[in-house]
Amino acid sequence: MRLLIVGRLDGQLTAATRIAIDKGAAVVHADSIDTALKTLRGGRGADLIMIDVALPIAALISALEAERIHVPVVACGTATDARAAVAAIRAGAKEYIPLPPDAELIAAILAAVADETRDFIVRDDAMAFVVKLADQVAASEASILVTGESGTGKEVLARHVHGKSGRAGKAFVSVNCAAIPEHLLESELFGHEKGAFTGAVARRIGKFEEATGGTLLLDEISEMDVRLQAKLLRAIQERVIDRIGGGKPVPVDIRIIATSNRNLGEAVRAGTFREDLLYRLNVVNLKIPPLRERPADVVALAEHFARKYAVINGIEPRGIAEEAKRELIASRWPGNVRELENTMHRAVLLATGPEIGVEAIRSPDGGRLDATVESRTRDAASAAAMTAEAVTRALVGRTVADVERDLILDTLDHCLGNRTHAARILGISIRTLRNKLNEYTAGGLEVPQPGESRIAAA
């Protein structure tokens, strides 16, 4: 996690810096917005910017957008400065951190930006086999494709491979291809020269050059536009990249690891992914099994998360009752490790006895996770049979386009405007979702923005 702090390093901002370093962040300081932009252009990069609320945040965000630099911004300032906090959010800051800093709040924001858990715990033979293969190929220079459902720990395994490789002492740079808009991704990867487009006021080093000597992780590569895939293929084959607007190739020395939660073979057949690029990336495939197929990992991870969140919340650590363990193993865990972590955090807070009992293992809406897989399947089938006719009747007389529109907007509303999550639920690519939403916006419909509901958007 690379953190760029912008502002004067005195008082509470210095304390925030120390906390971030203690939480594992690599921190770089810039005393002004101009210095921060020079740092980002120069190839040092950042996964998150933390800026003093007293500085012109709107100017920073406008400059980032103009130069096609994709990095989230959070503001920080005194807890009593509510007006400045509101202005920062309106200017485009993702969060506001009150000062003096709270260690766990900063840790939570760093974790949210990373969007992953670094806890690498393996007990089940199915996962141990994958890790053994990863260890075997880590020392090579081969490109690796890590596949598996969302939340299984693909980035964690990618970092493990990097740590076991000869490049461990160099940079590990991660790019989420699904989270970065298409028109920004090319500049994010390859950089650009001064004057390459409106707003390109200076040369900017991209992620390929940032990662030189180390490892570049292309997360959710299936979401990358086909046209950009051609440029990526050349970079992998020739070990050179072309900055946007550049006149000569730039050599790079990196190891590529890519991840996908989709079947790339099907994407090739659908024409959304290049077959030659798949061959280049898939020299070694590390396929992570879903958590429901790793029962030994379920218990080990649950115990780990129980200890972790007991410490974080100042609660005496407790064991997990045998009945609760059986409950956890019986669950399907569609959200995999990420869902299990949230469940155990909730359980730590809800448990009242000497152990974490089955009554504390609850779903986000407060419901019990006390049914076996078989009983849940039967219940779901029964409910589906009872409601199928009613649903069908409700759709009669409506066009397919109308039904599709309402489904997309309702799902986006459910995800509070998070397009990546909505696309995963809908089973479509983020690019397809963006195109649909652009159509709806052009037609005069209000589309929720990140953090909004349809009611708020309206």
Q: Is 49 exposed, middle or buried (0-12, 13-18, 19+ CB in 10 A)?
A: buried
pLDDT in tens, 18-30: 888 877 778 888 9
Q: What angle do CA 304, 176, 40 make, to 5 degrees?
A: 110
Peptide bond into 100 cis (omega under 30): yes
The pLDDT value given to residue 371: 46
Confidence tier at 96 by pLDDT (50, 70, 90): confident
Domains and CATH numbers, the chain: 2-114 (3.40.50.2300), 125-287 (3.40.50.300), 293-390 (1.10.8.60), 397-457 (1.10.10.60)
pLDDT at 391 over 60: no
The pLDDT value given to residue 457: 46
Q: What angle do CA 426, 433, 225 make, to 5 degrees?
A: 115
pLDDT in tens, 187-240: 999 999 999 988 888 999 999 999 999 999 999 999 999 999 999 999 999 999
Mean pLDDT computed over every residue of the chain: 85
Name the helix (H) or strand (E) containing 456: helix 454-457
Q: How far is CA 270 from the centre of its chain?
A: 25
The pLDDT value given to residue 453: 56
Confidence tier at 410 by pLDDT (50, 70, 90): confident
Q: Is the pTM of this model over 0.85?
A: no
Q: For residue 74, report the phi and psi dihedrals to the nearest 5 degrees.
A: -120, 145
Query: In 3D, which of 155, 151, 174 has the Cα closest to residue 70?
Result: 174
pLDDT in tens, 260-301: 999 999 999 999 999 999 999 999 999 999 999 999 999 999
pLDDT in tens, 328-360: 999 999 999 989 999 999 999 999 989 999 999
Exposure string over 371-384, b if 16+ CB within 10 A, otherwise e: eeeeeeeeeeeeee
The pLDDT > 70 percentage for the chain reads 88
Q: How far is CA 351 from the centre of its chain?
A: 30
The pLDDT value given to residue 187: 92
Parallel, antiparallel or unpaired: strands 240-241 and 250-251: antiparallel
C-alpha 27/C-alpha 14 separation (Å) is 11
The pLDDT value given to residue 77: 82
